[in-house]
A and B are shown apart, each in its own frame.
Chain A
Amino acid sequence: NAGVTQTPKFQVLKTGQSMTLQCAQDMNHNSMYWYRQDPGMGLRLIYYSASEGTTDKGEVPNGYNVSRLNKREFSLRLESAAPSQTSVYFCASSEEFIGARRTEAFFGQGTRLTVV
């Protein structure tokens, strides 16, 4: 079982470049999430998708866009990368959304992004 798979694992971008982080889950989960983790901090939610076809902003959405391509895949795009977006990005998925009892999120391995 692969769980949640993110690509790439590492990436270096120049300021102003664009890129897309890919995420796929094979657990048939309804909800998917993108987080960023900065040194000494917990995770902050960028965007989430409660179910296929829907996406919503999280705590820190500025500078990002997302696409829920299908139930399995949820991509994160940086249109014009900035040094402030240097971070570790985690994709996650969970079985259900609001009202669910099994609410734990399962995380991918993370993508270390550096913007120079």
Chain B
Amino acid sequence: AQKVTQAQTEISVVEKEDVTLDCVYETRDTTYYLFWYKQPPSGELVFLIRRNSFDEQNEISGRYSWNFQKSTSSFNFTITASQVVDSAVYFCALRLDSNYQLIWGAGTKLIIKP
């Protein structure tokens, strides 16, 4: 069975600190896709990144970086020099190549204090 676990329910840091959000996934499929979405207090869901299972290259986009490790089935998300605007709920999700369905983690609520 497929599963996504975001063990951190809530994280609170002071602005400018670095913070890492953990995501661990389970699947026996060899081809799959991993995603991170951001849900700010306004409620919309914003796509951040897609990672294909056959591409283990890590990615950096400004203050955001993602560390994909198949050996530990993890796809962690790091925000450096956090800002108040980063406050949101962040979801990790998994999709199999053989299926239409996105499997979602429960989300991590990130609070950045000024």
Report 28 cross-chain contacts, Cβ distance below 8 Å, ordered by A residue: A40-B106, A42-B91, A42-B105, A43-B91, A43-B102, A45-B101, A48-B100, A50-B100, A56-B100, A59-B101, A90-B45, A92-B45, A97-B100, A98-B97, A98-B99, A98-B100, A99-B97, A103-B33, A103-B95, A105-B47, A105-B102, A107-B45, A107-B47, A109-B44, A110-B43, A110-B44, A110-B45, A112-B43
Q: For chain B, what secondary structure do more than half of its interface residues adopt (helix, strand, loop), or is it mixed? A: strand
Q: Which residue of chain B lies nearest to A41 when distances are taken between CB atoms in the complex?
A: B106
Chain A contacts for B72, CB-based, 8 A: none
Given contacts A103-B95, A104-B47, A105-B47, contact A42 B101 (CB under 8 A): no
A106 interface hit (Cβ, 8 Å): yes
Q: For chain A, what secondary structure do more than half of its interface residues adopt (helix, strand, loop), or is it mixed? A: loop
Q: How many whole Å from B45's CB to the nearest CB in chain A?
A: 4
Chain B residues with a Cβ closer than 8 Å to the other chain, count: 24
B 50-74 binary contact with A (CB < 8 Å = 1; else 0):
1010000000000000000000000
Bound-state Cα–Cα, A90 to B52, Å? 24
A61 interface hit (Cβ, 8 Å): no
Q: How many whole Å from A57's CB to the nearest CB in chain B?
A: 11
Residues on B close to A: CB < 8 A?
4, 33, 35, 37, 43-47, 50, 52, 91, 93, 95, 97-102, 104-107
A31 interface hit (Cβ, 8 Å): yes
Are B44 and A42 in touch, CB under 8 angstroms? Answer: no
Bound-state Cα–Cα, A40 to B52, Å? 27
A 56-75 binary contact with B (CB < 8 Å = 1; else 0):
10110000000000000000
Q: How many whole Å from B26's CB to the nearest CB in chain A?
A: 15
Chain B contacts for A43, CB-based, 8 A: 45, 91, 102, 104
Q: How many whole Å from A23's CB to the nearest CB in chain B?
A: 14
Bound-state Cα–Cα, A103 to B100, Å? 9
Q: Which residue of chain A lies nearest to B33 when distances are taken between CB atoms in the complex?
A: A103
Bound-state Cα–Cα, A40 to B45, Å? 15
